[in-house]
Amino acid sequence: MSAHPDARPAAGYAGDLTPQQAWDLLADDPDAVLVDVRTDAEWRYVGVPDLRGLDRQAALVEWVSYPSGQPNPQFLTQVAATGATPGDGRALVFLCRSGQRSVGAAQAATTAGYGPAYNVLEGFEGATGDDGHRGHEGWRAAGLPWVQP
């Protein structure tokens, strides 16, 4: 698959997508994989994207571990477990809390030959707003499906 035409250019990976663009890519490309790179604690206590409407589920692959913050040494092995292989052209869409960690994940996947690899801008919850809370932007704020496990 070639790069998404609406992706914002980025260094070291295919580009940045809004949450809605990411959803549309996943809906249009049955081989595309959403890789949620947040921590286990975030998945359990905050929620995860719900892709059941697309007859699949998000791949849950930590980029860093909580609470240590150490990189996941099995990251690329776990990405491979999604069925993607380097050079296969399968789109990988990386999502984190606010769109920061997923940049590193997309860059690492691209360097390893996967992709095109995209970052989801604003992530699952977005940045902290003026009120000190998250949730004003990102996947959930865009009204995209999610579930609390």
- Residue 107's domain is classified under what CATH number? 3.40.250.10
**pTM given for the model:** 0.93
Averaged pLDDT, 98-108: 95
Res. 133: pLDDT tops 70:
no
Q: How confident is residue 126, by pLDDT bands cut at 50, 70 and 90?
A: confident
123 lies in a domain? Answer: yes
Q: What's the total number of domains in the chain?
A: 1
Taking the mean position of all CA atoms in its chain, how far away is CA 60? 9
Res. 1: pLDDT tops 60:
no
Best CA proximity match to 98, nearest among 61, 71, 138: 138
3 lies in a domain? Answer: no
Averaged pLDDT, 91-101: 95
Range of the domain at 114: 19-147
6 lies in a domain? Answer: no
78 lies in a domain? Answer: yes
How far apart, in whole angstroms, are the C-alpha atoms of residue 63 and residue 71? 6
9 lies in a domain? Answer: no
2 lies in a domain? Answer: no
10 lies in a domain? Answer: no
pLDDT in tens, 50-76: 999 999 999 999 999 988 999 999 999
Q: How confident is residue 135, by pLDDT bands cut at 50, 70 and 90?
A: low
5 lies in a domain? Answer: no
